[in-house]
Amino acid sequence: MAKHTVLILFLLLQAAFTLHAQEPDSSFFSHPEMNEVNDEADSTLMLVKAIDTIPTQDKYLKIVLFDDHTWDYIELERPDIDTTGLFDDWNIESIHAYRDVKVSDLPEEVDLLLVDSAHHFVAPYVGRRSSTFKYRRGRPHNGIDIPLRVGDTLRSPFDGVVRYVGGGKATGGYGNLVVIRHPNGLETYYGHLSERLVVENDLVVAGDPIGLGGSTGRSTGPHLHFETRYMGKPFDPERVINFDNGTLRDTMLTLKRHYFNVGSHYGMTDAQSKAATSAVYHTVKKGDTLGGIARKYGTTVNAICKLNGISSKKVLRIGQRLRVR
């Protein structure tokens, strides 16, 4: 039997149990010299045994060592990922892609297939949300936060390619960050990691570990900051995933243009989402009063109080964000 044919069979079995074969089984491989031995010398055939596998920078390419001090490469089966259009506006140096695309450039509605018979879903992490997709302290919080323990494993929810990996000052509040682009055009972000387990241009399949939970960057405690973006524009991740039980909302995701606003949340009707998208907000500054804000925007104190669920006697806080229309 040819060396490469048997080699592939061995590694497929071996890879199911361990990346490095510590205790090789009794499988033998034909030594190259076997091809030079005639039928009369069958009893003297030299057999060689694989004793270890060594990873390379490409996780689908391994090096196999044999007990006669020889070695060979073996390429494992790569994921079947549709890369049509996947590398448009590809940038491994910048956190956010599609910087020249505006929300107004996006279609009114687009359907994105999330899973099918060949490509499945694995929840990146399951847990309660400590912060949602909303304005927070006067700034947009473009994802959700899920508390975890430092070192908890985070996984890619879908097949894809790692577009960005970074940390330190380069990522600002994100801390250690991984961004994955998926074939349907979605990108998923994983922030505050204690460790990044992938590098740029890595292929990943649903369920692959991509990082470990942590509290790096602008973080008050260990948690995952998770974002979903389409053409660079964030939308509520809970439109995709039910994080309470780690399941998909549906196999098909319909994105509407008015979803790309931090005021638009999962569970809203279209009318509510559109109203939130067209909403006008004011960030409270030193010396502001409800009366002064109302006059500035041509509205009333009562209307502002109703929109924000507050009393007219509410003490305003600098940096507080108030909806005024």
CB neighbours of residue 289 within 10 Å? 11
In this prediction, residue 102 carries a pLDDT of: 93
In this prediction, residue 46 carries a pLDDT of: 56
CA 171-176-182 angle, 5° bins: 85
Q: Which amino acid is at 139?
A: R
Helix (H, G, I), strand (E, B) or coil at 259: helix
> Whole-angstrom Cα distance, residue 19 to residue 3?
21
> Whole-angstrom Cα distance, residue 27 to residue 121?
35
The full set of domain ranges for the chain reads: 3-75, 103-277, 281-323
> Whole-angstrom Cα distance, residue 84 to residue 185?
10
The structural architecture, per CATH, of the domain 103-277 is Distorted Sandwich (2.70)
Q: Which residue has the tokens 């960030």?
A: 283
Closest Cα partner for 291 from 321, 319, 314?
314
Closest Cα partner for 146 from 217, 224, 222?
224
Q: What CATH code would you report for 281-323?
A: 3.10.350.10
Tokens at 20, concatenated? 């490095």
User: Are 159 and 79 a contacting pair, CB within 8 Å?
Assistant: yes
Distance of CA 129 to the CA centre of its chain: 17
User: Are 194 and 212 a contacting pair, CB within 8 Å?
Assistant: yes
Beta bridge partners of 153: 212
Tokens at 271, concatenated? 């009318």
pLDDT per residue rounded down to tens, the chain (325 residues)? 444 544 544 444 454 444 443 333 333 333 344 344 444 444 444 578 888 888 887 777 889 898 888 888 888 777 777 888 899 999 999 999 999 999 999 999 999 999 998 899 999 999 999 999 987 776 789 999 999 999 999 999 999 999 999 999 999 999 999 999 999 999 999 999 999 999 999 999 999 999 999 999 999 999 999 999 999 999 999 999 999 999 999 999 999 999 999 989 999 999 999 888 777 888 888 888 998 888 887 788 888 888 888 888 888 888 888 888 7
In this prediction, residue 23 carries a pLDDT of: 38
> Whole-angstrom Cα distance, residue 140 to residue 138?
7
In this prediction, residue 138 carries a pLDDT of: 65
In this prediction, residue 198 carries a pLDDT of: 96
- Between the alpha carbon of residue 288 and those of residues 10, 135, 140, 256, 315, the distances in Å are 73, 20, 21, 36, 10
Query: Residue 11: in which H helix or E strand, if any?
Result: helix 3-15
* Sequence-distant (≥ 6) Cβ neighbours of residue 130 within 8 angstroms: 145, 146, 147, 223
In this prediction, residue 45 carries a pLDDT of: 44
CA 211-213-216 angle, 5° bins: 100
* Phi-psi map region of 162: left, alpha, beta (phi>0 left; psi -120 to 50 alpha): beta
> Whole-angstrom Cα distance, residue 270 to residue 273?
5
> Whole-angstrom Cα distance, residue 176 to residue 34?
52
Strand 153-155 and strand 195-196: the pairing is unpaired
* Sequence-distant (≥ 6) Cβ neighbours of residue 88 within 8 angstroms: none
User: φ, ψ for residue 266 (rounded to 5)?
Assistant: -60, 140
The burial class, CB within 10 Å (0-12 / 13-18 / 19+), for 118 is exposed
